[in-house]
Amino acid sequence: MTEKKNVSMIQRRLIPTYIFLVIVSIISVFPLYWMISAATNTSTDVSRGKIVPGGYFMQNFKNLVSQQPLWKAMGNSFFYAILTTVVCLLVCSIAGYGFEIYHDKWKDKLFSTLLLAMMVPQVATMIPLFQMVSKAKLLNTSVGFILPMVSTPFMIMMFRQNARAFPIDIIEAARIDGLNEVQIFFQMFFPTMRSTYAAAAVITFMNAWNAYLWPKVIMTDNKSLTMPMLIANLITGYVTDYGMLMCGVLFCSIPTMVVFFVLQKQFAEGITGAVK
Amino acid sequence: MKKKVISMLLAGAMVLSLAACGGGSSDSGSSGGGAAAADSGSSGGGAAAAADSGSSGGSGTKLTIWTWDQSFNIAAMNTAIEMYKADHPDFDAEVIETPSEDCETKLTTCANSGDYSTMADIVLMQDNSYQKFLASYPDAFTDLSDIGIDWSQFPELKQSYSMVGDQHFGVPFDNGAVIGCYRTDILEEAGYTIDDLTDITWTRFMEIGQDVFAKTGKYLLSSEASGGDTLLMMIFSCGAGVVDADGNPYIVDNEAVKACVDIYVQMIKNNVVLLVNSWDDYIKSITTGQTAGIVNGNWITGTLMSTEDQAGKWEITTMPRVDGVATATNYANNGGSSWYITSNCKDVALAKDFLLNTFGNNTDFYDAILPTTGAIACYLPAAETEAYNAPSEYFNGQPIFATIVEYSGHIPAYNRTPYHYESRTALNTAVQQIVDGADPATALQEAQDTLAFNMGQ
């Protein structure tokens, strides 16, 4: 009897917390809801502030497809985002692993320099970067597109932090068993750190998917149009079709949402640094 | 075993992607070389070929063009390409959709790194921002003075946006003449007609506005608080600018600016002008019928016409003029853009000939793009064609296109500044402060100082 009372008391005490959480959830989910409902309304209805979903989605979609190469942009975005993610994960995990496992007296100084680079905003490095890429004849190529994104100080730091939790005993045991260093990385470190890789994959994929300024500057033809560029193209006119715009935004956000939801569990583990 | 598979897959993906990238890079390397060769080949004969329009079509180069807005600039450019192709079968051009800000970012990056090779042959730039780029990067653009256009057929003000001294750099495109649009149904409710708002002063406008607000609860005008153009349009309609002839900030002792700020602030305080926070709110105030009028560049008609349930309720007329200023008129310009040939152009002669025979002198072309894009020409002879004189159903049967071109011929010139947007922000900030109770002289002094600071003085 008393136990039941306790439970109900605890529940009652939690009511304000739940109310608070519900309100916060509504606030954070509302923009998402508004995006979907706006994609189903006419531009005029959207500008008039209608928030109830309408029946105009197919028309918005048709307008979008007839005006912009939606599927090509989706394909490009997937190509560049996946390529960047794969290469970035490989490069940064090797770097992070190396920084943590191998020892050298200059290591920490080098790492600090690397972290300093994190403080420099992207726009500031844009012109020198453009010059480098232009001299290397990489303008308008996939390599030029992904190169500045494959090795980021943040990712290296994340892998180094998580490698700290990787038991050194495993490496020593593997060495005794006759594995060479490359094998240890791929066969021991890589499978153990799966959740870190998942978290890094989500972050890199999102960054690569949303990349705008750099690709826009170095990619010069219509063939390399990506989703964020397509969205930008929709808002530049004298007249903005809000319904069509939101329809485009919806298509642009779906992949990152899917990636996040699929890897959500590992993402949370990876961010907090878990070794299994 | 499983791990081996994964690592194999990873390595495989790497190899594949690198191979793909390698292919791409060698490809672009060769095309870059090709472009350079074409460039050096054609530049020698450029001047000679410019005079002879027939021969330049056959060079086989493909022009690239940067512009934005599928339903406006891009549609117009595509029509131009089609029409030019009909006479020059070898001609080929590709439009690369590039938002205005991105054109500017790319231009800045290219200019600062000294590598123009990624620039398009032809770019569209907004009239209000072009001068800044021309002043900063003069070697990025080609002089078009010898293109062969009869400049007297374009309004002087429009030309001045793309000129330095006597040199022409741009081919004028769309018209930014300011119009007043009014909801006749709301005016009628308050006992007014469109004639009561034609060729009036802002003082009279305020009287009518107060009356309309008292009778219908609707504002006569709305304007963006920080990014709005209303105040600048009022100043420009007096033939005045916010800088003097040497380009120095000229606000504090400028009688025209003071008169405009004064009446504008009064209108805000008296419920005639509704200040909104953003462009989206501005559009909302129109589509929801919160305001009965608009004073803006004529391109606003595009947004209006998408509000189909207000068809037949709108009519256009001239904007009000500022009273107490001797040079005041009922005409001003807001927005618009022009075409430029970059210094990276592979075939300058061809690009010049293309622009001359479409945007430069062709009324058939302007007739063709009018119904599909609503893009109104600056080319004055276009106003005489049938298409331009056709009545517009949305605007109660008014022939708005011919009217707008006619307005554009009356717009007074003023002292332009490359720091157009900076001056707009500074003045709008001053207005906000005055509305909130600040002393006008102090607020305007601050605006002038801010502008001077932005100019690096």
pLDDT along chain A (276 residues), means of 10: 71 89 95 93 88 92 92 95 96 94 90 89 87 90 91 92 89 92 92 90 93 88 89 86 93 92 83 60
Distance CA B73, CA B77 (A): 6
DSSP 3-state assignment of A105? coil
Pairwise pLDDT comparison (B418 vs B449), residue with the higher score: B449
By CB atoms closer than 10 A (0-12, 13-18, 19+), residue B151 is middle
Partner B, chain A 208-267, Cβ-Cβ below 8 Å: 213, 216-218, 220-222, 225, 232-233, 235-241
* Whether the Cβ atoms of residue B257 and residue B417 lie closer than 8 Å to each other: no
User: Closest chain A residue to B100 measured between Cα atoms?
Assistant: A236
DSSP string, B383-435: GGSHHHHSPBTTTTTB-HHHHHHHHHTTPPP----TTHHHHHHHHHHHHHHHH
By CB atoms closer than 10 A (0-12, 13-18, 19+), residue A149 is buried
Identify the pLDDT of residue A3. Answer: 64
Q: Beta-carbon neighbour count of residue B163 at 10 Å?
A: 19
By CB atoms closer than 10 A (0-12, 13-18, 19+), residue A86 is buried
Give which of B37, B119, B156, B83 is closest to B344, Cα–Cα.
B119
Return mean pLDDT, chain B: 86
Q: How far is CA A242 from CA A34, A60, A168, B99, B306, in A?
A: 12, 9, 56, 17, 11
Which of A220, A224, A246 to mutate to probe the B interface, most B CBs <10 Å?
A220
Architecture of domain B46-175+335-384: 3-Layer(aba) Sandwich (3.40)
By CB atoms closer than 10 A (0-12, 13-18, 19+), residue B381 is middle
pLDDT average, residue stretch B200-227: 95
Name residue B126's amino acid.
Q
In tens, the pLDDT along B63-94 reads: 999 999 888 899 999 999 999 999 999 999 99
In tens, the pLDDT along B159-169 reads: 989 998 889 99
Residue contact B28–A140, C-beta within 8 A: yes
Option in B3, B118, B308 nearest A139 (CB): B118
User: Closest chain B residue to A89 measured between Cα atoms?
Assistant: B10
With contacts defined as CB-CB under 8 Å, which chain A residues touch B375?
none
Identify the pLDDT of residue B14. Answer: 43
Identify the pLDDT of residue B295. Answer: 96
In tens, the pLDDT along B331-387 reads: 999 989 999 999 999 999 999 999 999 999 999 999 999 988 888 989 999 988 999
- This prediction's pTM: 0.81
Give which of B82, B300, B89 is closest to B176, Cα–Cα.
B300
Name residue B135's amino acid.
A
* Whether the Cβ atoms of residue B319 and residue B332 lie closer than 8 Å to each other: yes
* Whether the Cβ atoms of residue B56 and residue B349 lie closer than 8 Å to each other: yes
Q: Beta-carbon neighbour count of residue B83 at 10 Å?
A: 18
Walk me through the domains of chain A, giving residue ranges and CATH numbers: 2-56 (no CATH), 60-272 (1.10.3720.10)
Q: How far from the centroid of its chain's Cα atoms is residue B214's Cα? A: 36
Percent of chain B with pLDDT over 90: 66
Enter the tokens of residue A224: 């390399």
pLDDT at residue B57 greater than cutoff 60: no
Residue contact A221–B96, C-beta within 8 A: yes
Identify the pLDDT of residue A4. Answer: 66
pLDDT at residue B54 greater than cutoff 80: no
Each domain of chain B, given as residue ranges in start order, spans 46-175+335-384, 178-332+394-454
Identify the pLDDT of residue B45. Answer: 35
Which of A239, A240, A241, A244 to mutate to probe the B interface, most B CBs <10 Å?
A239
Distance CA B57, CA A33 (A): 53
Architecture of domain B178-332+394-454: 3-Layer(aba) Sandwich (3.40)
Which of A141, A184, A192 to mutate to probe the B interface, most B CBs <10 Å?
A141
In tens, the pLDDT along B197-206 reads: 999 999 999 9
pLDDT at residue B28 greater than cutoff 80: no
Distance CA B37, CA B41 (A): 6
Question: DSSP strand E in B279-358: where?
Answer: 293-297, 314-317, 337-341
Same fold, B46-175+335-384 and B178-332+394-454: yes
* Backbone region of residue A28 per phi and psi (left: phi > 0; alpha: psi in -120 to 50; beta: other values): alpha
Identify the pLDDT of residue B303. Answer: 84
Identify the pLDDT of residue B238. Answer: 95
A5-9, B150-154, B399-403: the lowest-pLDDT one: A5-9
Give which of B202, B185, B180, B206 is closest to B272, Cα–Cα.
B206
With contacts defined as CB-CB under 8 Å, which chain A residues touch B5?
none
With contacts defined as CB-CB under 8 Å, which chain B residues touch A142?
17, 20-21, 24
With contacts defined as CB-CB under 8 Å, which chain B residues touch A80?
none
Identify the pLDDT of residue A270. Answer: 75
Residue contact A86–B10, C-beta within 8 A: yes
pLDDT at residue B47 greater than cutoff 70: no
